[in-house]
Copies of this chain bind each other. A is one copy, B any other.
Amino acid sequence: MTTTQPLPSWRGGAAKTAVLDFVRSVSEPGEAFVPAMERIATFDNDGTLWCEKPMYPQADFLIRRWAEQVKADPTLATQQPWKAVAEGDRSWLASALDHVPELIKGVTQAYDGITTGAFEQAVREFFDTATHPTLGTSYTGVAFRPMRELIDLLTANDFAVYICSAGGRDFVRVVSEEMYGIPRERVIGSGTTLEFRAGDVYRTKGIEQPIDDGPGKPVHIWTRTGRKPLLAGGNADGDADMLASARFALLLRHDDADREFAYDTGAEKALAAAGEHGWTVVSMKHDFGTIF
């Protein structure tokens, strides 16, 4: 194992020790050794690799787009989610995940009919110009440094590291290399349906099924890699199936209101499963010396 001061932003403790011991055990000769080709790690993105509060970065991206759309076509304000944006209805937007049909309509109509290349430009512009509402940095600055160090440690030990996000694959891909050192072909995630015509790939109005959340995560990981993860990291209930499919599971707990956010909502089942299955729970408050 590459051991030159691994995980410098992590504080010493049971979590750091468990991670280092596991990586060493599969990388060095011994009973638990795993050939390099089979060392796959998968990480959820929102809340695991980057800050997901007060809203998902992709939600901010979409809300800005819906605002543009309703400005260009005010008749859109009669329907959700454009109505909420036009009226500044933060409460509807905050509960958008409870309005799945409207949310899907908004997501797919935000950028339908354009090429994947044109979509990438829109995403690039968002990351180049938007500022996180509370952290005051651009969204490329909201990755958790200790998690980036973990990715680097795994990569140095010949793991192939994938992102496995319930969010948009083609959104995360644009910044995965610069933010995490993860090349775009190793980003697994949800997507709109696509079609090839006139020599290019276009976004269409559907959502690829299954989405990359809950039981869809191990399915996506299989279709993309042909393997189960050797190590997986997540932070929420939607990650529990992925974590259950991995040899080593890491659950990041958001318990640091001073430096990030403190919330267990949406992670109750995952936290219970962690206790039951012996997953390694990482406390942002106690195990991370530095967060950003």
Contact = CB atoms under 8 A, between A and B. Distances in A.
Contacts of A199: 244-245
Nearest to A169: B223
Name, among A160, A177, A215, A223, the residue most crowded by chain B CB atoms within 10 Å (CB to CB).
A223
A242 to B, nearest CB: 9
Contact of A116 (B37, B169, B222): B222
A195 B222 CA distance: 10
Contacts of A173: 226
A160 to B, nearest CB: 7
A184 B215 contact: no
Contact of A218 (B170, B185, B191, B201): B201
Identify which of A194, A199, A217 gathers the most chain B CB atoms within 10 Å of its CB. Answer: A194
Residue from A173, A219, A226, A244 whose CB has the most chain B CB atoms within 10 Å: A226
Interface in A217-253: 217-219, 222-228, 241, 244-245
A197 B245 CA distance: 10
Interface string A135-162: 0000000000000000000000000100
A113 interface: no
Contacts of A223: 169, 191, 194, 208
Contacts of A197: 215
A222 B201 contact: yes
A187 interface: yes
Nearest to A174: B226
A171 to B, nearest CB: 11
A229 B21 CA distance: 40
A47 interface: no
A211 to B, nearest CB: 13
A122 B216 CA distance: 25
Contacts of A37: 177, 183
Contacts of A208: 223
Contact of A184 (B200, B201, B219, B227): B227
Contact of A196 (B170, B219, B225): B219
A208 B216 CA distance: 13
Contacts of A241: 196
Nearest 8 CB-CB pairings of A with B: A184-B226, A196-B215, A185-B225, A196-B218, A201-B222, A194-B219, A173-B226, A196-B219
25 contacts: A37-B177, A40-B185, A116-B226, A160-B185, A169-B223, A170-B226, A173-B226, A184-B225, A184-B226, A185-B225, A191-B223, A194-B222, A195-B215, A195-B219, A196-B215, A196-B216, A196-B217, A196-B219, A196-B241, A196-B245, A197-B215, A199-B244, A201-B222, A201-B245, A224-B224
